[in-house]
Homo-oligomer: A and B are copies of this chain.
Amino acid sequence: MKLTPADILQEVGAERIEGPTDRVFTDFASLLEATPTDVSFFSDVRYEAYLYKTAAGAVLLSTEYCPKKPLPPQVTWIFVKRPEQAFYKLVQRYKSVPLPSWGREPHAYIHPSAIIPEETYIGAFSYVGEGVRLSRRVWIFPYAYIGPGVEIGEDTLIYPHAVIMPGTVIGRNCIIHPGAVIGADGFGFYKGETRLYERIPQVGRVLIEDEVEVGANTCVDRATLGSTRLGQGVKLDNLIQIGHNVQIGPHTAIAAQSGIAGSSVIGAYCRIGGQVGIADHVYIADQTSIAAQSGISKSIHAPGKAWRGAPAQEVRQQLLMEALMRRLPELYPRFRELEKTLSQP
């Protein structure tokens, strides 16, 4: 990779440049780790101290930033409207891992009834089952299993070893990361006449709307009846469990290793931390924020609040409780003192 200040200007439309302009940069890095051949960016004031001692060759920063002291002269300062966005645009353009070209690698299994446009990539050892319908610009990486009847929208990537079970519908611009399992049977049993656990047949499906990401080794179970649904723009990190019939509203993001039990309904624009557990059949209002490792066993009806703890409370109340819990070792002797005082005749 080779990148000059002029290239950057052209790509991101900088408003002005200060410092040397005759440089060539060969990589990207954070302010802290950058060397003179790296391009970096500054957008978060928490890292302002790094700005004045960075070894970066070039730094993108906001046209609205007022330096507190002179900016080091050996750096090329590139002023743009939105430095973070501009930086990632450059990275995307100059450095992203290239996607394979359209075409079919050997050793793929494609059912003759599958509909596969020309502009698709079908990796080696991929499996495209009966009645599958792929749209244009879909990538099916090696070992992806696309079960019978699956539909996949345009510009969607199915990474290696992802399992898309029969009947799943995936929208446009989605990414299914390696090892994710979409549409496995839900975990449901009823008491049989002879067996304690008789399987409830799981005959629903998974419906994934546009611009959704499903992380590596994450599992999204098919519905018992009807659909398990991931709304538009939902982002799921790795190793998450989504139970049967769960509904997740648009633009909700969930961090790694969280789990949502069957039939729960999560609103739109929620932010859920890692290792959170949400019980079955609960409702979570829109724009709810849930701290990592929390446990939600009851519905949350008021939108836009922040929760924490297991069982979870609103953050303020929970933090107060936690602070007092930590003071118990100090409070207990004071309590004993009171008892002693009062037991004196």
Question: Hey, which bits of chain A sit against chain B, CB under 8 A?
Answer: 28-30, 33, 82, 84-85, 88, 91-92, 95-97, 105-107, 109, 123-125, 127, 141-143, 145, 147, 159-161, 163, 165-167, 175, 177-179, 181, 184-185, 187, 189-190, 192-193, 195-201, 203, 211, 213, 215-217, 219, 221, 225-226, 233, 235, 237-239, 241, 243, 251, 253, 255-257, 259, 261, 269, 274-275, 277, 279, 292-293, 295, 297, 310-311, 313, 317, 320-322, 324-326, 328-329, 331-332, 334-335, 338-339, 341-342
- CB of A163 within 8 A of CB of B145, answer no
- CB neighbours of A226 from chain B (8 A): 29-30, 33
How many copies of this chain does the complex contain?
Answer: 3
Assess whether B274 is in contact with A275, with CB atoms less than 8 Å apart. Answer: no
Residue of B nearest to A166 (CB): B97
The complex places the Cα of A10 from the Cα of B85 at a distance, in Å, of 64
Given A189-B235, A329-B320, CB of A293 within 8 Å of CB of B277:
yes
Q: Are A211 and B189 in contact (CB under 8 A)?
A: no
Q: Which residues of the other chain, B, contact A221 by a CB distance below 8 angstroms?
A: 216, 238
With A145-B142, A179-B217, A341-B342 given, is the CB distance from A259 to B257 under 8 Å?
yes
A182 to B297, CA, bound (A): 31
A269 vs B199: C-alpha distance when bound (angstroms): 16
Closest B residue, CB atoms, query A256: B241
Task: Please report the C-alpha to C-alpha distance between residue A170 and residue B181 in the assembled complex, in whole angstroms.
Answer: 22
Nearest Cβ distance between residue A299 and chain B, in whole angstroms? 15
Q: What distance in Å separates the Cβ of A34 from its nearest Cβ neighbour in chain B?
A: 9
Q: Which of B106, B185, B192, B277 is A275 in contact with, Cβ under 8 Å?
A: B277
Compute how far the CA of A33 lies from the CA of B263 in the bound complex, rounded to whole angstroms.
13
C-alpha spacing A122/B109, complex, angstroms: 14
Give Cα A331–Cα B335 distance, bound, in whole angstroms.
9
- Nearest CB on B from A233, distance (A): 6
Instruction: Find out whether the CB atom of A192 lies under 8 angstroms from the CB atom of B85.
Output: yes
